[in-house]
Amino acid sequence: MTDVRAALKQGLALLREAHVPSFTLAAELLLLHVLGRDRTWLYAHPEEQVSSADAEVFFALIARRANGEPTQHLTGKQEFWGLEFEVSPDVLIPRPETEHLIEVALDRLAIGELRAGRKKTLTGEGLQIADIGTGSGCIAIALARELPGATIYATDISTAALAVARRNATRHSVSDRVHFRECNVLHALSDSPLATRHSSLLLDLIASNPPYIGRREAATLMREVRDHEPEVALYGGEEGYELYAGLVTQAAAHLKPGGILVLELGHNSLPAVQPLLDAPTWTNIAVTNDLAGIPRILAAERT
Ligand SMILES: C[S@@+](CC[C@H](N)C(=O)[O-])C[C@H]1O[C@@H](n2cnc3c(N)ncnc32)[C@H](O)[C@@H]1O
């Protein structure tokens, strides 16, 4: 038997020795996961006993974390947009910078509504939205939660990722409005029942956080990312930005006039991607930086 304070102290010392980034937070999250408690409880009960069985599980997780497995793979969850998402080695762990994509998408939709002289509360009534490369489903599901009147199509090339995304949609009660399709970029949308009725499915918004790391950068990645997150979610090609051209072409074909495209960018993708948004097809182009000052979100409107 040990107590909470001692277990935590020993756990974080082991992670620090193994040069794990944010080792205190990682040790806390793993202990909370094992004990089934929240953070407030942890600091209010430093003397609470930890059973031998719980301590054994905790130190086994600490050893795996010290060996490079991401904390989120050990706890099976990550928060995004205030919602808890199931994650596994089959999906990219949602990143905080992707929340900027949601902010930009919602801002653009709100501006569109105001321009059209409609109400100030954005419900997304009647909107058709696509999320390309949905992974855990975090973008599609966050948008579905924010826009209760919208229908969302979420695509991914990975069967295993889509299984996780579907469970997340059920967990957040949006599975009736988020339709998952296994396909390359947006190809399956041309075969959707809606598309056959109206010749093609025209969308109000397309959002995507595509794989954008260059294979030539692989050696510079943290081991947690390089060795544990799915390659198909990380690498966009040798340079990293190779998937954007096809994505922009398909977005131009699937967006309504006035429809919005919102893309997440890699740290050095902007010079390669911005020129793809040529006039006269695209207008109102804007770049949003993330908190580190990196150009992270590129948004544009279909003319
Ligand atoms: C960077 S991850 C983004 C996951 C999630 N949207 C997020 O923001 O956390 C990219 C996702 O795109 C998927 N993907 C890669 N190539 C694709 C393609 N050609 N068509 C559709 N999805 C693709 C990957 O399987 C992965 O789930």
| pLDDT tier, 197 (very low <50, low <70, confident <90, very high otherwise) | very low
What pLDDT score was predicted for residue 118? 77
Q: Are 167 and 86 in contact (CB under 8 A)?
A: yes
The set of protein residues with a Cβ atom below 6 angstroms from ligand 1 is 92, 94, 98, 132-136, 138-139, 155-158, 161, 184-185, 209-211, 232-233
| pLDDT tier, 195 (very low <50, low <70, confident <90, very high otherwise) | low
What is the whole-number distance in angstroms between the Cα of residue 25 and the centre of ligand 1? 28
Mean local confidence (pLDDT), 79-84: 98
Q: Give the tokens for residue 212.
A: 């954008």
Q: Are 74 and 65 in contact (CB under 8 A)?
A: yes
Measured from the Cβ of residue 100, the count of other Cβ atoms closer than 10 Å reads 18
* Distance (Å, whole) CA 212 – CA 265: 7
What pLDDT score was predicted for residue 191? 62
Percentage helix, strand, coil, to 5, in the chain? 45, 20, 35
Q: What is the largest CA-CA distance in the chain?
A: 70
What pLDDT score was predicted for residue 207? 98
Which of helix, strand or coil describes residue 223? helix
Atom of ligand 1 nearest to the CA of 184: 20
What is the whole-number distance in angstroms between the Cα of residue 11 and the centre of ligand 1? 34
Which residue intervals of 36-129 are DSSP H helices? 39-44, 52-66, 71-75, 98-115
Picking from 129, 189, 137, 128, the residue whose alpha carbon sits closest to that of residue 158 is 137
Tell which phi-psi region holds residue 231, choosing left (phi > 0), alpha (psi between -120 and 50) or beta: alpha
Q: Count the residues in the chain.
A: 303
* Distance (Å, whole) CA 174 – CA 166: 10
What pLDDT score was predicted for residue 199? 53
